[in-house]
Structure 1
Amino acid sequence: MKDDSSIDALKQELAEKGVEYCIGAYVDIHGAQKGKVVPLSHLSHMAHGSERYTGYALDGLGQEPNEDELTSIPDLDHVIQLPWQPKVAWMPADNHFQGKPYPLSTRVALQNVLAEAGKMGFGLNLGIECEIYLLKRQADGTLSIPTADDKLGKPCYDIKSFMDNFTWLDKMASTIKTLGWDLYSFDHEDANGQFEFDFQYADALTTCDRLTFFRMMAKHYAEEEGLLATMMPKPFANRTGNGAHFNMSLYDLETGKNLFACDPKDDRRGLGLTELGYHFIGGILKHGRALCAVLAPTVNSYKRLIRRGAMSTFSWAPVFNSYGSNNRTNSVRVPAGGGRCESRNADGSVNPYLAAALVLAAGLEGIREKLDPGAPNDDNLYTIGEEERLARGIDFLPQTLIEAVEAFAADPLVTSALGEGLRNEFITYKRNEWEEYHLGISPWEIERYTHLF
């Protein structure tokens, strides 16, 4: 927490920029933002825990109605003045309980694991690829792509489709650049109405804050256009899903050096990754099935993690607990040039703090135990036979949310990394989510069975 003089200086700086209100935004177990708004004059009060919350009213904060309230403490090093409403300053916040960081707060959980990495001399750099649909809601509630004449069977990288949505894209890109995130690429993605934004990686906490803000920003600018933006993993059965791929490397806390990077000639596997990087991947693969629960945390996520499904081509989504080179049929890949690894399981519904915490914990275990991930897989794993898959020791990732949650519940790493309270809350909410889904009657069932029987 900053001292009072630093807070006063920040208040003065924000006042000069026209800020009148401050949001201290924390997330629930799903990654959805919650918080209160205070006038700028009360920023110091909020920074000292004035804003209290009934944890029982929120998902995943583990409280009963009789318990003391939580507070939220804003991170004053990560303040963003809302570009579309400059009177408001947004700042990520951490939940506290009785004066201490609250372990069931997922942002706190990430900081706890980062502290463990720090004891080993490591920091985590993280880049998240933001895939998102821009859609129109019809009068009957169904969703469609905004441009009626977009009939392309292969719209990936299509320039016309990009320009048809330029107003929204320009607002997004201009804001990302203004915020200093270093936008280096954006394009029309593989499905009609789908786009991707890629901005520079940062330390893990900063990147998770940015993804949280990105979602809010994308939805706001879409609403200005009378549209809806969503990072839902699979809005359409016959189109590509929304990934949120995690690109990761460890760096030396003293020098900032990338500890995964080496010359491919010095790497016996030829991918440009140090042994430390391979051990990190070994930890991810050891816990791959459990990690799936936090990287792909919704019922809908597993409509994305398929080979083909209702699509005419391969889905590009990972279904195997495997790694390889620049090969998108693995769940973990080492992109060309090396120096990082990419977890492709993560989708647009991810709570980035929770997922980053557990993935980092798995990677650190891999380093401590010097886990060898084996030989990289360079061929199309969608097409290999079952006998060969088994011979290589490649397991399937979970194919439903409940399968992933049971793997999560059975893995001891989860409790050691997240604590029993957060572990149990996640399991409870996700089992309930599966049960609600399983008990619901879908339009597909009505259409099929009312006529069949």
Structure 2
Amino acid sequence: MAKYTKEQIMKIIEENDIGFIRLQFTDVLGCLKNVAITSDKLEKALDNKIMFDGSSIEGFARIEESDMYLRPDLDTFEILPWRPGVDSVARLICDVYDPEGNPFAGDPRHCLKNVLDEAEEMGYSFNVGPECEFFIFHVDDNGRPTTLTHDTSGYFDLGPADLGGNVRREICLALKKMGFELETSHHEVAHGQHEIDFKYDDALKTADNIMTFKLAVKSIAKKMATCAVFMPKPLKGENGSGMHTNMSLTRDGKNIFYDPKDPLKNGLSKEAYSFIAGLMEHIDAITAIANPIINSYKRLLPGYEAPVQIAWSCKNRSPLIRIPAARGSETRIELRSPDPAANPYLLLACCLAAGLDGIKKGLTPPDSVNYNLFNMTQEELEAQGIRSLPTNLKEALEALDSDELIKDTLGEHIYNNYRELKLREWAEYSEDISRWEIDKYIQNC
């Protein structure tokens, strides 16, 4: 059942003196974009008549196919609580269409919808709960972000040591006004690092919520004269930020990952095991999406509690995939490698496609690992047949090139443009002369 009608949205706009509406969409790199309109153009927007130039957005459309139309999803209408007062601001998340009325092949939201349709044809609904981590830093005199942390607290610390608590509290209040059902909020391991978890939902809404969450966190932090950073590894020698992704499938409202008669005594169903196997089968290619920037691989290093080895467990948090203890309707698979730089629409599309592939093929995962992988040497891991994730973006892109399922999931347009942009990023990185290189070599060569 729809949350809003056109008439209801127009009435809310008028009653709340809303002057501007942001028509938001996401590009292939996971950056939130928008076209802003004044309230007198709302009816035109709700009739899907607002057009924009797609060629101006990197990786979106060529000059000769640049005209794109925004179709607002009425259920995503929200008033932005950090922009109150006269002429306040609301938003609508949009799908992107071409002039012929077809969904645009480069729209990440459409990419996810395609895989969700496939799951629905198999009788499944896909639910996802993310765990989003971020840093709060000071800004300099010009308002630019620094890497000076806002506090020196640690895991689960509270005030007065946890100076970032005030910012977190304001973020949570804003999110609640936007309809988020928050689970927990706390300080994370690293100095200045925080986590706010919100309740799982269907995958499309969760992807929308992740984009909204990042916007809200950054906006509230800026309003409080700080800067929120979703960069995976901003500080050397500290844990990086992840976005652990909890997934489950339901059929007719019942969680199909749970089986109390599991012969392996894990409480998991055959579909759950096959879903795990599918993720492990395609994880190298998924890494190019789940860990999409150069900096992502500075987080995926031994010694910083980030998953590096491709294994799964019901017992500990060191492998790539963990099965949390809850069973019954809360049975879920937690993929621990994604970071908050990932495009959530593409990430969830690829994870679901991989899991469904495992179910279709009846794949079975290797034996679970019930020991701490963080304490094992490379030789010990190899002896157990446990391999590691790609070690850099170039390796992940090479894995993506050889995985037909993940390429097909992204579609030709997104795959080609994403790959081109990421190879350009790798080339820029490879050509750069870093401060480390200068310090290390300038006097010794």
The residue type paired with residue 127 of structure 1 is G
Q: Which range is displaced more, 365-374 or 169-178?
A: 169-178
**What TM-score comes out, normalization by structure 1 length?**
0.92
Query: d(CA) in 1 for partners of 2:264 and 2:52?
Result: 52
Name the CA shift for 1:35/1:375 in 2 (closer, same or farther; >3 Å): same
Contact 2:282–2:354 under 8 Å retained in 1: yes
- Structure 2: gaps spanning 5 or more residues: none
Q: CA deviation at 1:391?
A: 4.4
The residue type paired with residue 270 of structure 2 is E
Query: d(CA) in 2 for partners of 1:166 and 1:416?
Result: 43
Name the CA shift for 1:415/1:349 in 2 (closer, same or farther; >3 Å): same
**Correspondence list, 1:98-137, <5 A:** 98=99, 99-137=101-139
Q: CA deviation at 1:24?
A: 1.2
The residue type paired with residue 125 of structure 1 is N
Contact 2:137–2:146 under 8 Å retained in 1: no
**Correspondence list, 1:162-241, <5 A:** 163-241=162-240
Q: CA deviation at 1:119?
A: 0.4
Query: d(CA) in 1 for partners of 2:415 and 2:140?
Result: 39
Q: Which range is displaced more, 334-343 or 157-166?
A: 157-166
Q: Is 1:423–2:412 an aligned residue pair?
A: no
1:379 is paired with a residue of what secondary structure? coil
**Correspondence list, 1:222-301, <5 A:** 222-252=221-251, 255-263=252-260, 266-301=261-296
Aligned to 1:306: 301
| 2:359 aligned residue (359, 367, 371) | 367
Query: d(CA) in 1 for partners of 2:214 and 2:40?
Result: 28
Q: Which range is displaced more, 329-338 or 295-304?
A: 329-338
| 2:387 aligned residue (387, 395, 401) | 395
**Correspondence list, 1:412-451, <5 A:** 412-451=404-443
Contact 2:127–2:249 under 8 Å retained in 1: yes
Q: CA deviation at 1:237?
A: 1.4
Q: Which range is displaced more, 103-112 or 32-41?
A: 32-41
Q: Is 1:96–2:100 an aligned residue pair?
A: no
Residues matched between the structures, number: 435
Query: d(CA) in 2 for partners of 1:348 and 1:439?
Result: 26
1:321 is paired with a residue of what secondary structure? coil
The residue type paired with residue 62 of structure 2 is E
Contact 1:271–1:334 under 8 Å retained in 2: no
Aligned to 2:77: 79
1:192 is paired with a residue of what secondary structure? coil
The residue type paired with residue 281 of structure 2 is K
Name the CA shift for 1:57/1:325 in 2 (closer, same or farther; >3 Å): same
Query: d(CA) in 1 for partners of 2:5 and 2:226?
Result: 41
Q: CA deviation at 1:419?
A: 1.3
- What CA deviation, in whole Å up to 9, does each residue of 1:92-114 have, x standing for no partner? 11111121111211011001110
Aligned to 2:158: 159
Q: Which range is displaced more, 102-111 or 175-184?
A: 175-184
Give the RMSD, CA atoms, in angstroms.
1.9
Query: d(CA) in 2 for partners of 1:206 and 1:245?
Result: 17
The residue type paired with residue 401 of structure 2 is A
- What CA deviation, in whole Å up to 9, does each residue of 1:310-352 have, x standing for no partner? xxxxx11011111111422111110112410011111010110
Q: Is 1:27–2:26 an aligned residue pair?
A: yes
Name the CA shift for 1:47/1:162 in 2 (closer, same or farther; >3 Å): farther
Aligned to 2:319: 330
Q: CA deviation at 1:382?
A: 2.4
Aligned to 1:311: none
- What CA deviation, in whole Å up to 9, does each residue of 1:243-275 have, x standing for no partner? 0111000111xx211111233xx2233332211
Name the CA shift for 1:223/1:449 in 2 (closer, same or farther; >3 Å): same
Query: d(CA) in 2 for partners of 1:50 and 1:129?
Result: 36
- What CA deviation, in whole Å up to 9, does each residue of 1:25-64 have, x standing for no partner? 0011121111211223322312333222222211221x22
**Amino-acid identity (%):** 34
Query: d(CA) in 1 for partners of 2:317 and 2:160?
Result: 25
- What CA deviation, in whole Å up to 9, does each residue of 1:137-192 have, x standing for no partner? 34697421124xx3x6xx11112366422321111111222333221211110000
The residue type paired with residue 90 of structure 2 is A
- Structure 1: gaps spanning 5 or more residues: 309-314
- What CA deviation, in whole Å up to 9, does each residue of 1:262-292 have, x standing for no partner? 33xx223333221111111110000010011
Aligned to 1:312: none
Query: d(CA) in 1 for partners of 2:42 and 2:385?
Result: 55
The residue type paired with residue 434 of structure 2 is S
Q: CA deviation at 1:385?
A: 4.1
The residue type paired with residue 378 of structure 1 is N
**What TM-score comes out, normalization by structure 2 length?**
0.93
- What CA deviation, in whole Å up to 9, does each residue of 1:380-413 have, x standing for no partner? 1123344543344322100001100110111001
2:159 is paired with a residue of what secondary structure? helix
Q: CA deviation at 1:14?
A: 3.0
| 1:405 aligned residue (397, 404, 407) | 397
Q: CA deviation at 1:425?
A: 1.0
1:77 is paired with a residue of what secondary structure? helix
2:24 is paired with a residue of what secondary structure? strand
